[in-house]
Amino acid sequence: MNKLGIIDYGAGNLASVCNSFRAIGVEGKLVRTPADLTDITHLVLPGVGAFGDCAAALRKQNLAESICQWISQDKPFLGICIGYQILFESSDETPGAQGLGVFKGHVRRFADNGLKIPHMGWNAVTPLRAEAPIWTDMGESPYFYYVHSYYPVPQDKGLIAATSSYGDTFAAAVIKGRVIATQFHPEKSQVQGLRLLKNFLTL
């Protein structure tokens, strides 16, 4: 049986994420220390807040190393928004702050191209690896909900599992093995979001 862990670093969108999993019949356990990972099979790092604050909080709680180890073992992992960005090395949002460095790359701010920043609302997602289990029953161009001013630019373009466009075309999601991370918020994306969470739990 799957046992879901949701990381609580003091700033994540915990209530919405917990409620979304509850809506599909899964009760998540809050993870605040490495010891809380015992017996967990699926791990979620939700995202609300700033890159530097998230990195500092995870390190303060001794969770940064545990997350990196979890991912290195190819255990099912879902990073959402800041929980996606923090997997990279650095960000325009907090110069000098070090991310977890799971993936090589930098988190870039949207260019000032006349569009409102943050990018907020529904937008189409184009899966690049439609065969990936996370996209099961999604269709060719599912819509998800975004709230962000920054997006990762992976050095390894092979990681990119989906794109969206908002002035720039950006990596909306990455996949490596059973590690999934999305710039959009599944927990705010109604039917498609719940479908994605269900697909994650099948990994």
The residue from 18, 81, 93, 148 that is catalytic is 81
Catalytic residue among 42, 119, 148, 185: 185
* Beta carbons of 188 and 122 less than 8 angstroms apart: no
For this structure, is 185 an active site residue? yes
Burial (Cβ within 10 Å: 0-12, 13-18, ≥19) of residue 137: exposed
The catalytic residue among 42, 93, 119, 187 is: 187
| Catalytic status, residue 42 | no
Terminal alpha carbon distance of the chain? 12
Catalytic residue IDs: 81, 185, 187
